[in-house]
Homo-oligomer: A and B are copies of this chain.
Amino acid sequence: MQIRVIVPVIPYETVDATRTLYAAAARPDAEISVVCLDQGPVSIESDYEEALAVPDLLTKVRAAEHEGMDAVIIDCTSDAGLSPSRELASIPVVGPGQTAMHLAAILGHRFSVITVLEAAIHPFYRLARLNGLEKELASVRSVNIPVLDLDKDRERVVGALVEQATRAVTEDGAHVIVFGCTAMMGLAHQVELALAERGYAVPVIDPGVAAVKLAEGLVDMRLSHSKRTYPSPPPKEIVGYEVGL
């Protein structure tokens, strides 16, 4: 099967690392391709940046379906553009934030999200509410490191993640940890082991990896999102965008 990962930002230095991480997460029969945007922000840390990422993301979603992809993953834990993408596509479009939150609810009582910056905290409360999982969310915490710095000092990032996850467990009552940025991809197992060494046996979920597993499973099951929830938009004049539904 063929899975298209759309990174909803313009190309960045470590995009090859992203490719490698997604390929490593996929099973042998799943071929991963990763594309970035032509138009949009360099990273997403606000609703404003997200809003400017979505139009070109939608172009990439349409392209993915036209090119015969079996599923699409939006590489952003805020699930940027998930709903309009699902309206456009009949193949499954997977949001890592939604996927990771539901998986966390399956694995234990209450989860905490550890994200990048303080400004990114409130949107996860909103995302949990939108997904009906507000009561399962113990807390949202930040490591206080911008997205584009996550790749620079992995050891510091791991240390900050372990520190905040520990506080989520001991102070907020979290039983499961969810990463709040796909740029933390690849660190979940390391953080889980560090927490276990401190005596906190909690699963740590990497939303990007969880999204790959959901995409693979949906393709296997020949299931996609409900077109009653995400109906195809009617043909309509739109100025400034060549969308060609």
Q: Taking beta carbons and an 8 Å cutoff, which residues of A are in contact with B?
A: 10, 25, 27-29, 37-43, 45-52, 54-56, 58, 81, 83-84, 87-88, 98-99, 102-103, 105-109, 119, 122, 125-126, 129-136, 169, 175-176, 188-189, 200-203, 205-206, 209-210, 213-214, 216-217, 220-231, 233-234, 236-241, 243
Contacts and interface: CB of A to CB of B under 8 A. Distances in A.
B224 A41 contact: no
A45 to B, nearest CB: 7
A27 B220 contact: yes
A162 to B, nearest CB: 16
Q: How many copies does the complex hold?
A: 6
7 closest A-B pairs (Cβ-Cβ)? A39-B240, A108-B226, A213-B217, A108-B229, A46-B233, A201-B227, A48-B84
Given A43-B236, A238-B42, A51 B48 contact: no
